[in-house]
Amino acid sequence: MRIKLFFLILSFLSTGTIISQTKITGFIMDAFQKPIPYSSLLLQSQDSITVAYTYSNNSGFYELELDETGDFNLIVSMLGYEKLIQPISITKNTKNLKKDIELKEKLFELNEVIVNADLPIDIKKDTVVYKVKTFLRGNEVILEDLLKNLPGINVDSDGTIKFGNQEIEKLMVDGDDFFEKGYKILSKSLPVHPLESVELLQKYSNSRLLKGIENSDKVALNLKLKEEAKNIWFGDITMGYGLELSNFYTIKGNLANFSKKKKFYFLSNLNNTGDDSTGDINQLIRPYRSGEPSSIGDNQRLQTLNNISGGINDFKESRTNFNNAELLSLNAIYNLSNKVKLKTLGFLNTDEIQFFSNTIDNFNSSGFSFTNTEDVIISNNKLTAFGKIDITYDISERKMLESTTKFNYSNFKDNSDLNFNGLSTLQSLASNNNLFDYKIGYSDRFADKKVFLLTGRYIKESSPQNFTINRFLYQDLFPEISNANNISQISENQYQFFGVEGHLLEKKQNGNLLEFKLGNELRIDDLQSIFNIKNNDVLLENPDGFQNTLEYRTNDLYFKTKYLFKINKIGFIGKLDFHQLFNNLEFSENNKSQSVFFINPSLGLNWEINKSNELETSVSITTNNADVLSTSNNYSLTGFRFFSKGTGDFNQLNAFNYSFNYKVGDFSSRFFSGLSLNYMKNNDFFSTNTSYDPNFSLSEKILIKDREFLNAAAYSNFYFRKLKSTLKLSLGYSKSNFQNNINDTGLRIVKNQTNSYQIKLKSAFSGFFNYNVGTEWLSNSIEISTLNNKFTNNTSYLDLAFAFTDKLTLDVKTERYFFGNLQGVNTYYFLDVTAKYVLKKNKWTLFFDGRNLFDNNTFRTFSINDVGNTTTEYRLLPRILLLKLAYRF
């Protein structure tokens, strides 16, 4: 019954009437027939209701679309010109209407007041301004809630903020950035009430000296505060407690003071309700900015051998996250003088997480089959302390010095109580992470269109680990050892990075851009792992082939060139990257050295066909150096029954890449669509030669030729003005093939294909009711000569929002999950309800938060791989009924 009701509502809301559309175009000119850019155009009905609006572009051209008939007034206004009202009649046969407008200059005294329409969206060149009050529905609490209402802005389930399909670069407050790529800390905490507007900054440059020189496609968001929220301390605190006997609680607090010279933002969050208040902390500690000037070292990462954790893909983490989180973040920005700015960030996060799952793993490949069962309780205790100091010194209007210092300390104590095939097995992992990261950069815009950047960076990171298992599962692997009853592995992976880079950019008069980079990167990795087989505390053996002591040193001396050549609206981008590698690999028993030279070429094309159509395409050849784990020559324990090792040698991986992107319209258009295509052929890639046993597996990396990957995606957004709703359609397709070796039966070809289909419909009513409904189908298949695995899953949702009065709002969220290959129960329903009542405006607010109201205890998923399939049952947080009280000050 619930299924029928759900899809009846979905069908009703997705039904719309196809209405004839009229397009009005023309140019705005002055008396001398010169174009007037950025003129404001409003199309109003006879009762003064605005039905469409836009701005003229750089050429004075404008375009309006509507699907209504009747008599209208086209109102055109621009500062310095007389406002013009042009009557227009639209009939059902009117398809295209051309109206060129001539505005007369208007002389006015300085004390004259110019009144412009208070539009919800204001477009000024590369800046889009959203008026916050226009997009409030009454149920918004934090910034993330507001951003979901803004046209063109998308917020993923994990809090990632995107403009269209592109993630934002940063989230600022009155022009200052606190968290860089870790912006989710701000968007998940900052209250909505102090905000006046949200600015979307297109073609954004992270450095003011690069603005107007680099061809940036980055986007960023800037929050403008109300005047009454500036130069004062303000904040809020929310406290909630469970109405049932489960002792659930939540405490959140914000304290801020934003002024021109100083900005302070302090926040805290304590909860055991599964809420994530930070997003991915690594985005704060180790942000990655691909292609960004002065980003040398951003791609450096430390790989660890062991990990004990759990999680579900494509499912709300908060439903399985049995947590006890505590967060405190202290952040400040000081303008010490007109030339010096200091930013400090302090972050402390602790959490105690439990995760419960039962897994049935079916292996069926190469004539060998078995089934493993695992019932596991995972306990993760973690502490992360992070500090950052940024100093910016404006030496002059054209010269700048920037310094960034980061410190991070993380401590993890992870345990699992595992019942493996009926045998109780305890795992324990103690690990630390220590990071020091220092970067200094000098920028000199020595000419109007020329800038030179010099950047240096030093990184040191280490992660010691101690992994123990209270059972010996590897009797078949080590038959000579008869009395072992536990094992341990002590390991440490650490690296040091030294990098320096000079970068010259020169913008030509015709818009062409020339770039040169000269730099050197040195990375030194030290990897050690000691595998111990024991009887109680007595060491029995350190088996040969399962110990690692190596130093991997790679030095990359590079010279990179890039040239953008423009012909009208077509840009050709050519790149040549020259690399001279010096590699050295030192094992305990011998040393190896390598010197290799290679070139990475790339050619791209950008074509702005017109205001609404844009095409991008590129081809490239890349060569990448192998990492330290790929060069190891002995096995390491990487899980309670998994051993892996590298090739024991140097390797460079060569690939061919092709990409194609085409889009029609933009966020302000009623119709917005796009198509993307990515193809990659790995001429060399790492595959595996794996021996599977019910109790263990040995996996060795091997170098294979020719792997192909194809990914295609299409999306389309259409706004129905009559329904005041946006329809979103998206299609996804990916296909890959590769080779591997299982149980020494020879190389086999594995083909993997994924298809996805998604439809969403979201309203933008100004009344008391709004809805958001959607469904997605995902199909996956894996094919080899002896096996053909496939499944089809579906996820659907229906969200209803009610604003009964200015004081009372109600949100109802429903979800449906369907797993086509599950035996038995394969469909799950979830219901969450949130109610808000304002006790005293701008002071006291009461919340009721009900989660998992159907009280689902477990959730099963089905997945496939190239050796079989896996069914996993997860334990869910029980029904939560929270009563929360918020106080604003």
DSSP per-residue codes, 212-249? TTS----EEEEEEEPGGGBSSEEEEEEEEEESSTT--E
In the block, tokens 């490239």 appear at 620
- Specify the pLDDT at position 119: 60
Quote the strand ranges of 721-826, DSSP E: 725-742, 747-763, 769-784, 787-803, 808-819
Helix, strand, coil shares of the chain as percentages rounded to 5?
5, 65, 30
Domain boundaries, the chain: 21-116, 122-230
Which of 393, 395, 397, 495 lies closest to 440, judged by CA? 393
Q: Which fold has domain 122-230?
A: Ferric Hydroxamate Uptake Protein; Chain A, domain 1 (2.170.130)
d(CA 286, CA 422): 41
Span 655-711, pLDDT tens digits? 999 999 998 887 666 788 899 999 999 999 999 999 999 999 999 999 998 899 999
CA distance readout (Å), 471 to 345, 357, 417, 861:
44, 20, 12, 29
In the block, tokens 């309006």 appear at 64
Tokens describing residue 544: 């040969």
d(CA 484, CA 539): 9
Tokens describing residue 202: 């297109």
d(CA 223, CA 889): 20
CB atoms within 10 A of CB 36: 19
Residue 874 three-state SS? strand
Residue 645 three-state SS? strand
d(CA 413, CA 415): 7
User: What is the DSSP annotation of 271-325?
Assistant: ESSS--SSS-THHHHS---TT-TT-TTTT-----S-------TTS-GGGT-B--E
Please measure the distance between the N-terminal and C-terminal CA atoms of the chain and give it in whole angstroms: 47
- Specify the pLDDT at position 329: 93
Q: Which helix (H) or strand (E) holds 9?
A: helix 2-14
Residue 133 three-state SS? helix
Across the beta sheet with 153-155, the strand order is 153-155, 161-163, 166-167
Tokens describing residue 498: 């030294």
Q: By the 8 A CB rule, do 487 and 704 touch?
A: no
Strands 340-365 and 325-335, sheet pairing:
antiparallel
d(CA 645, CA 700): 5
- Specify the pLDDT at position 744: 86
Q: Say which CATH superfamily domain 21-116 falls into.
A: Carboxypeptidase-like, regulatory domain (2.60.40.1120)
Residue type (1 letter), 655 = A
d(CA 630, CA 645): 7
Helices within 636-769 (DSSP H only): none
d(CA 184, CA 284): 9
Q: By the 8 A CB rule, do 753 and 738 touch?
A: no
Task: Supply φ then ψ for residue 170, to 5 degrees.
Answer: -160, 170
Geometric angle at alpha carbon 438, from 433 and 444, rounded to 5° = 155
Quote the strand ranges of 12-120, DSSP E: 22-29, 40-45, 50-55, 61-66, 70-77, 84-90, 96-98, 101-102
109 burial level (CB within 10 Å; 0-12, 13-18, 19+): exposed
530 contact partners, CB below 8 Å, separation of at least 6: 489, 490, 491, 542, 547
Tokens describing residue 35: 């174009």
d(CA 831, CA 861): 19
- Residues of the chain below pLDDT 50: 1-19, 108-117
Residue type (1 letter), 464 = P
d(CA 818, CA 816): 7
Which of 267, 237, 269, 284 lies closest to 351, judged by CA? 269
691 contact partners, CB below 8 Å, separation of at least 6: 697, 698, 699, 743, 744
What pTM, to 2 d.p., does this model score?
Answer: 0.84
Span 546-564, pLDDT tens digits? 999 999 999 999 999 999 9
**CA trace torsion 224, 229, 233, 234 (10° rounding):** -90
Considering only CA atoms, give the Rg of the chain.
30
- Specify the pLDDT at position 246: 75
Tokens describing residue 548: 């690692």
- Specify the pLDDT at position 486: 95
33 conformational bin, left if phi > 0, alpha if psi -120 to 50, beta if neither = left
CA distance readout (Å), 495 to 302, 303, 433, 463:
7, 10, 12, 9
- Specify the pLDDT at position 207: 87
